Structure 1
Amino acid sequence: MKKFIASLLVAASAGLAAVAPAQASSGGIAWDKFPVEKLNDTAALQRGAKLFVNYCLNCHAAAFMRYNRMRDIGLTEQQIKDNLMFATDKVGDTMTVALDPRQAKEWLGATPPDLTVIARSRAGHNGTGADYLYTYLRTYYRDETKATGWNNLAFPSVGMPHVLWELQGPRTAVFEEVKDPHDPNKVMHEFKTFEQIKPGKLSPQEFDSAVGDLVAFLQWMGEPAQGFRVKLGTGVLLFLAMFSFIAWRLNAAYWKDVK
């Protein structure tokens, strides 16, 4: 029994160690709020699916999601085949990639994580996983000191390059030296603003909206039934409220003649 408990403690410690980098990667910045209304916008989810396939599915798999599940966001199988399938011929296949994990680790320094439940796994004290992803994908900036040439405010020293840079356009980050509040002899670099080097294909507002679409799809992909679950839960609560009122009136009618 002691050995069993010890093995559980070791496993828990390993799990915490695995999660720690993700929590640390959130950095110290506040997360922007993801526009949750996009989760109920079928057109936004469809646009997000297109962005995911074109910009994410080259390296990141979604191995627990099948292409034909996108029928739930209003796409027909023919539309899925014509516009969203490049790595397989069968609409019932899962969304995998041809990139070999060992080669990916050798080339990129780490194996790109599966994105099926990425939005659910990145929640933290700053907000939801969708808030984190919405902030992360919008805070890339050029940094020539990094191997990829990119850095990120939400995930400092991130290994992934800015795959959406053509849409957003390259930017630099402006930092200001300030005194460390805990040690007056030290200085800190505090972020001030971004400076656009070259315009992207989208305006800042259009880019933010596009990222919102992509994050909405990632959030939906982590739990495709969440919309139905919310509707079902609302219906159950309404039924219970109505039934409670009926039971209350029946109880009053039953006991009204009892002294």
Structure 2
Amino acid sequence: MKNLIVHAKRLLAAALLAPALVLASAEGPQLDKAPLSKDPESLKRGATIFVTTCMACHSASFMRYNKLTEIGFTEAEIKEKLLPPDKKVGDLMTIAMRPQDAKKWFGGVAPPDLTLVTRQRNSELGSGADWVYTYLRTFYRDPTRPNGWNNVVFPGAGMPHVFWELQGEQTAKITKHPDGTESIELVLSKPGSMSAQEYDKMVADVVSFMQWMGEPIAEKRKSIGIWVMIYLAVFFALAYALKKAYWKDVH
């Protein structure tokens, strides 16, 4: 009996602490809303940048190259612009870098697969697309880091800023507040080849493609869901009318 009481107290304490843990997990930097697009041209631009730049280190091993025909590429365009020499159109979008080598080069952590990253990063702070969109825009120079870069959204990230020549170099102005918290303001110290608006648009294209890649059938699923709800509503009306017809003499 005594053991049961102790166990019950522990469960009660865990239940009381659960909201606090949820609130704590929600703490973090403010995420900017990702301006996602379903426009095929935007998705194609994003796919091109993703394959030619991001896939130098990151794989998308749950996606096949020929699936890109669904956003407007022809197989000939995939072969010409996106397909590595050792790949076929029906192959998975994997990379040649071995995980053990990647760990050596990136501080002991291999670059993650990005197929589902916009779904994995969903949180109380915003969607996974918001996280990736903000992440790619908040790198700043940090001489204390091995690769010379840090990130507001993901402090201590092993990934260098691969788009720095486009965005430019940002420096962080850190302000400490009386309550012990800190805020970071990013200042563009060295312009890149793109304006801020052009860079944000480029990142939005990449994130839009990654959002599509995470669930290519999302739009089809939603349209099917609408028809299913309509079917259920009609079926309910017919079933209710049949029920009334069967029970009219009883009532």
TM-score normalised per structure 2: 0.81
Deviations 1:59-109 (A, max 9, x none): 111111110011111211111111111253310111111112111111111
Aligned match for 1:80, one of 75, 78, 81: 78
Q: Deviations over 1:20-75 (max 9, x none)?
A: xxx98x97211112224x1x222221111011012100011111111001111121
Which position in structure 1 is the counterpart of 2:110? 111
Contact in 2 for aligned 1:45/1:214 (Cα 8 Å): yes
Give the match for residue 34 of structure 1. 34
What is the root-mean-square deviation of aligned Cα atoms in Å? 2.4
Given candidates 214, 221, 233, the residue that maps to 2:213 is: 221
Q: Say which SS state the counterpart of residue 170 (structure 1) adopts.
A: strand
User: 1:123-134 residue pairs with structure 2 within 5 A?
Assistant: 123-134=122-133
Q: Which runs of structure 2 are paired with 1:9-48 in the superposition (5 Å)?
A: 28-36=28-36, 38=37, 40-48=38-46
Deviation track 1:1-33 (CA, whole Å, cap 9, x = no partner) reads xxxxxxxxxxxxxxxxxxxxxx98x97211112
Instruction: Give the Cα separation in 2 of the matches to 1:145 and 1:87.
Output: 39
Equivalent-residue separation in structure 2 for 1:249 and 1:176 (angstroms): 67
Q: Structure 1 unaligned runs (5+)?
A: 1-22, 182-186
The Cα offsets for residues 134-155 of structure 1, whole Å up to 9 and x where unpaired, read as 1111111111111111110001
Matches within 5 A, 1:154-169: 154-169=153-168
**Partner residue in 2 for 1:11:** none
Tell me by how many angstroms 1:235 deviates. Answer: 2.2
Number of paired residues?
227
Structure 2: gaps of 5 or more residues: 1-23
The letter for the 1-side match of 2:121 is R
**Is 1:105–1:111's contact at 8 Å kept on the other side of the alignment?**
yes
Distance 1:257 1:249, change over 3 A: same
Q: Give SS of 1:34's match.
A: coil
How far apart, CA to CA, are the structure 2 residues paired with 1:216 and 1:228? Answer: 17
Amino acid in the other structure paired with 1:208:
D
Residue 199 of structure 1 deviates from its aligned partner by 1.9
Cα deviation for residue 219 of structure 1 reads: 1.6
Partner amino acid, structure 2, of 1:204: A
**Percent of residue pairs identical:** 48
Q: TM-score, normalised by structure 1?
A: 0.78
